[in-house]
Structure 1
Amino acid sequence: MEHLVESLKKLAASRPDDVQKFKVIPNTAHILLTLPDETKFGFLRDNMTKPLESLLRKGPAIQVEAVGITERLCKEIGRATKPEDALVHVDINIYGPQSLRDEVGAVLSGHKLWLQRPDCYRSQYPYSNQSNPHMIIFPDVHGDLVEEEIQKEISPASKPRTAKTKLDKFMEEVHISAEDKENGLENETGDQRLKTPLLMHQQQALSFMLQRESGDIPEQRRLWEKTTKNGQEMFIHRITKTSSPVKVEEMGGGVLSDEMGMGKSLCILALIVQTLDASHAWADQRKNDEHTSSKIRRHSHSSLIIVPSALLINHWLKEIRDHTGDALKTLKYHGPGRERELGALEQSDVVITTYNTLAAEATAKKSQLHKINWYRVVLDEGHIIRRQATTLYRHCADLEARSRWCLTGTPIQNRLEDIGALFAFLRAEPFHSIAQFRRFICAPYEEGKPIAKERLILLYRSLCLRRTKDILTLPGCDEQTRTLELTDDEKRQYAKTTNILDRYMRTQEHRAGGAGYGHYHSLQSWKKTQFGLFQAHLQLRILCNHGTFQKPFSWKKRDMKDEKTAEREAFISELGAGSELLCDGCKAFRPIIGLAAGAQHNFAGDCPHSFCLECLEDFSGLPGLENMRTCPLCLRNGNTVVRADDATDVVMQDADRTESTDRDMHQDAYFNHVGYSTKMEALVEDVKKDIVESKSIIFSCWTRTLDLIAKTLRKEQIEFDRIDGKCLLSERQRIIDRFAAKDSAPVLLMTTGTGAFGLNLTAANRIFIVEPQWNPSVENQAIARAIRLRQEKKVQVTRYFIKDTIEEQMMSQQVKKRQVASFGVVREDGLGAAQEHQEEDAHS
Structure 2
Amino acid sequence: MTIKPAPTIIASDSNSISQTRRAPFIFSLLGHPNPNTSERKSKHQNPMDSQDPFTQSETETYLAGFVMANIVGLKHYSGTITGREMVGLLREPLNPYDSNAIKVLNTQSLQVGYIERAVAAVLSPLIDASLIHVEAIVQTNPRSNNTSRFRIPCQVHVFAHFSAFDVVHDAFSESPVHFISHSDPSFTLSNAAAVKETRANSAESTTTKTTGNKNLDQIFKLVRENLASENKIHEPLNPPTNIIKSELLQHQKEALGWLSHRENSEDLPQFWEEKEGSFVNVLTNYQTNTKPEPLRGGIFADGMGLGKTLTLLSLIAYDKMKMKGGKKRGRSVVETDATLIVCPPSVISTWITQLEEHTNRGALKVYMYYGDRRTQDADELRKYDVVLTTYNTLGAELRWPDTAVKKLGWRRIVLDEAHMIKNVNAGQSQAVIALNAKRRWAVTGTPIQNGSYDLFSLMAFLHFEPFSIKSYWQSLVQRPLNQGKQTGLNRLQVLMAAISLRRTKDTALLGLPPKIVETCYVELSCEERKLYDEVKEEIRSLMNNDRLVYSYSTILSMILRLRQICADLSMCPSDFKSCLFSSTEIEDVSENPELLQTLIGMLQDCEDFDCPICLSPPSDVVITCCAHIFCRECILKTLLRSNSSCPLCRRSLSESELFSVPSLKTDTTESCSTPDVRSSTKVSTLIKLLTESRDQNPATKSVVFSQFRKMLPLLEEPLKAAGFKTLRLDGAMSAKQRTQVIEQFQLSEVDDPMILLASLRASSTGINLTAASRVYLMEPWWNPAVEEQAMDRVHRIGQKEEVKIVRLIAKNSIEEKILMLQEKKKEITSRGSGRRSKDVVGMGIEDLRYVLGE
Equivalent residue for 1:270, pick from 314, 318, 334: 314
Query: Counterpart of 1:197?
Result: 247
Residue 529 (structure 1) aligned with residue 552 (structure 2): yes
3-state secondary structure, aligned to 2:299? strand
The answer to whether the Cα contact below 8 Å between 1:548 and 1:672 also exists between their aligned partners in 2 is: no
Equivalent residue for 1:207, pick from 217, 242, 257: 257
Query: Counterpart of 1:687?
Result: 690
Query: Counterpart of 2:758?
Result: 750
The answer to whether the Cα contact below 8 Å between 1:254 and 1:426 also exists between their aligned partners in 2 is: yes
The answer to whether the Cα contact below 8 Å between 1:493 and 1:548 also exists between their aligned partners in 2 is: no
Give unpaired runs (5+ residues) of structure 2: 1-65, 73-88, 101-117, 140-153, 167-219, 581-593, 634-654, 845-854
3-state secondary structure, aligned to 1:742? coil
Give unpaired runs (5+ residues) of structure 1: 20-36, 43-66, 96-170, 516-524, 583-588, 613-633, 636-648, 836-844
Residue 425 (structure 1) aligned with residue 461 (structure 2): yes
Query: What are the residue-to-residue correspondences of 1:368-767 with 2, within 5 Å?
Result: 368-431=404-467, 433-443=469-479, 445=481, 452=488, 455-472=491-508, 473=510, 474-486=512-524, 490-492=525-527, 494-496=529-531, 498-499=533-534, 502=537, 504-505=538-539, 508=542, 512=545, 529-532=552-555, 534-546=556-568, 555=577, 564=599, 567-568=602-603, 572-573=607-608, 591-592=616-617, 595=619, 659=667, 667=672, 673-691=676-694, 692-743=698-749, 744-767=752-775
Residue 92 (structure 1) aligned with residue 95 (structure 2): no
The answer to whether the Cα contact below 8 Å between 1:412 and 1:419 also exists between their aligned partners in 2 is: yes
Structure 1 residues 724-779: Cα deviation after superposition (integer angstroms, max 9, x where no partner): 23222221121111111113311011122222233332222101112234444432
Q: How far apart, CA to CA, are the structure 2 residues paired with 1:460 and 1:396?
A: 21
Query: What are the residue-to-residue correspondences of 1:241-252 with 2, within 5 Å?
Result: 250-252=294-296
Q: How far apart, CA to CA, are the structure 1 residues paired with 2:481 and 2:130?
A: 23
The 1:357/1:493 distance shift into structure 2, 3 A limit, reads closer
3-state secondary structure, aligned to 1:190? coil
Query: Counterpart of 1:306?
Result: 342
Q: How far apart, CA to CA, are the structure 2 residues paired with 1:436 and 1:825?
A: 16
Q: What's the TM-score once normalised by structure 1's chain length?
A: 0.62
Structure 1 residues 428-481: Cα deviation after superposition (integer angstroms, max 9, x where no partner): 445454444444444555566665555544433432222222213321212333
Task: Look up the equivalent residue of 1:732 and give its one-letter code.
Answer: R
The 1:9/1:324 distance shift into structure 2, 3 A limit, reads closer
Residue 324 (structure 1) aligned with residue 330 (structure 2): no
Query: Counterpart of 2:62?
Result: none
Task: Look up the equivalent residue of 1:541 and give its one-letter code.
Answer: R
3-state secondary structure, aligned to 2:439? strand
Query: Counterpart of 1:111?
Result: none
Residue 797 (structure 1) aligned with residue 805 (structure 2): yes
The 1:463/1:560 distance shift into structure 2, 3 A limit, reads same
Structure 1 residues 270-292: Cα deviation after superposition (integer angstroms, max 9, x where no partner): 111111144468995333xxxx5
Structure 1 residues 285-331: Cα deviation after superposition (integer angstroms, max 9, x where no partner): 333xxxx5xxxx52211111122x23222211221222222311111
Q: How far apart, CA to CA, are the structure 1 residues paired with 2:356 and 2:93?
A: 54
Q: How far apart, CA to CA, are the structure 1 residues paired with 2:96 and 2:329?
A: 52
Query: Counterpart of 1:141?
Result: none
Shift of 1:696: 0.5
Shift of 1:345: 0.6
The 1:507/1:750 distance shift into structure 2, 3 A limit, reads same
The 1:190/1:537 distance shift into structure 2, 3 A limit, reads same
3-state secondary structure, aligned to 1:328? coil
Q: How far apart, CA to CA, are the structure 1 residues paired with 2:131 and 2:495?
A: 29
The 1:438/1:804 distance shift into structure 2, 3 A limit, reads closer
Task: Look up the equivalent residue of 2:367 and give its one-letter code.
Answer: L
Q: How far apart, CA to CA, are the structure 2 residues paired with 1:764 and 1:179?
A: 41
Structure 1 residues 589-627: Cα deviation after superposition (integer angstroms, max 9, x where no partner): 6942x75xx779x9xxx9978699xxxxxxxxxxxxxxx
Structure 1 residues 60-94: Cα deviation after superposition (integer angstroms, max 9, x where no partner): xxxxxxx95636569x5498878666455558379
Structure 1 residues 673-730: Cα deviation after superposition (integer angstroms, max 9, x where no partner): 2324222222112212343211111112212222221121122232101122322222
Structure 1 residues 636-678: Cα deviation after superposition (integer angstroms, max 9, x where no partner): xxxxxxxxxxxxx99999x9xx8479x66xx58xx68232422
The answer to whether the Cα contact below 8 Å between 2:304 and 2:789 also exists between their aligned partners in 1 is: no
Task: Look up the equivalent residue of 1:738 and give its one-letter code.
Answer: Q
Q: How far apart, CA to CA, are the structure 2 residues paired with 1:339 and 1:12?
A: 34
Q: What's the % identity of the aligned pairs?
A: 25
Task: Look up the equivalent residue of 1:264 and give its one-letter code.
Answer: K
Task: Look up the equivalent residue of 2:684 and give its one-letter code.
Answer: E
Equivalent residue for 1:183, pick from 207, 232, 239: 232
Structure 1 residues 764-801: Cα deviation after superposition (integer angstroms, max 9, x where no partner): 21011122344444322321222122222111112223
Task: Look up the equivalent residue of 1:529 and give its one-letter code.
Answer: Y
The answer to whether the Cα contact below 8 Å between 2:233 and 2:254 also exists between their aligned partners in 1 is: no
The 1:608/1:799 distance shift into structure 2, 3 A limit, reads closer
Structure 1 residues 310-367: Cα deviation after superposition (integer angstroms, max 9, x where no partner): 3222211221222222311111111113333322211111111122222323412231
The answer to whether the Cα contact below 8 Å between 1:283 and 1:300 also exists between their aligned partners in 2 is: no
The answer to whether the Cα contact below 8 Å between 2:413 and 2:441 also exists between their aligned partners in 1 is: yes
Equivalent residue for 1:364, pick from 379, 391, 400: 400
Query: Counterpart of 1:168?
Result: none
The answer to whether the Cα contact below 8 Å between 1:313 and 1:352 also exists between their aligned partners in 2 is: yes
Q: What's the TM-score once normalised by structure 2's chain length?
A: 0.61
Q: How far apart, CA to CA, are the structure 2 residues paired with 1:378 and 1:749?
A: 31
Q: How far apart, CA to CA, are the structure 1 residues paired with 2:704 and 2:164?
A: 46
Query: What are the residue-to-residue correspondences of 1:33-432 with 2, within 5 Å?
Result: 70=128, 72=130, 76-77=133-134, 86-89=157-160, 92=163, 182-192=231-241, 193-215=243-265, 250-279=294-323, 284-287=328-331, 297-307=333-343, 309-325=344-360, 326-431=362-467
